[in-house]
Amino acid sequence: MADVKNDSHTIHDSEREKDLYKLNSPGNDLPFIEADDAFSRKKPINLFITIFLSFVALVFAVVISRHYFQKINEKERLKWENGRLNKEKLEQEKSKQHDLFQPLRNNWTEYISSRVSTVISKGKQRETFIIVENKGPKPLDKVVVGVFYLNWNGEASNVENVDIENVKPSEIRKIKVANPHKENGVTCIIKAIRASSFSFCFNTETETAGKSDPYYCTDNQ
């Protein structure tokens, strides 16, 4: 019985060796090996298609971006051009106003003035006011009035500045100030005026000699 089993194993082993020989013989290629070879042959084609499509996509993106930025640059150029034209137009208008309001600036003392007014009430109390009058056709942004309190010999013992803002055309503005002693007096002068409505600036500390339009100023001054 042992010999029969051994012979059976021997036969099966020899059949396996024959099958392995057939598998390894050159003319006996397996199907899955042929499929791998076909895939390997297709690899260069697939790579070329991928590169080509990537290149096309890149060119398309560059063209779209260039077109987009050209439109943006054109808008910015038009915006800048319009701003420049508007600025030139504004400067021309200001130049016309400059010539139009020059007589008003040069003769401002005929239209703008300040004075002191003292009122004695029924209770015999003195009240002192600074009065600023604008007879001109244009509003005043700000008027600075210097108030001088005089002592017994007429010298200024104290000085203060009073700011009066937004004085309208043909308006009289009255500001109450401190009451001096009975034996003293009060006087005032206009120290500065600013009126953007007719490009006017006046200041007692500014040199104006030798200028044809000494009180002309722009909004930035």
Residue environment code for 22-45, b if the CB has 16+ CB neighbours within 10 A, otherwise e: eeeeeeeeeeeeeeeeeeeeeeee
Q: What is the pLDDT at residue 5? A: 45
Number of Cβ atoms within 10 Å of the Cβ of 50: 10
Which positions ≥6 away from 198 have C-beta within 8 Å?
97, 101, 104, 105, 138
Q: What is the pLDDT at residue 182? A: 53
What stretches in the chain show pLDDT beneath 50?
A: 1-6, 8-9, 11, 20-21, 23, 28-33, 35, 39, 183
Half-sphere exposure of 114 (CA within 13 A, CB side): 22
Q: What is the pLDDT at residue 143? A: 96
pTM of the model: 0.54
pLDDT tens readout for residues 143-166:
999 998 887 777 777 788 999 999
State how far the Cα of 42 lies from the Cα of 118, in Å rounded to an integer: 110
Q: What is the pLDDT at residue 180? A: 62
Q: What is the pLDDT at residue 220? A: 56
Query: Whose CA is closest to 115, among 187, 177, 192?
Result: 187
pLDDT tens readout for residues 176-205:
887 765 546 888 999 999 999 999 999 998
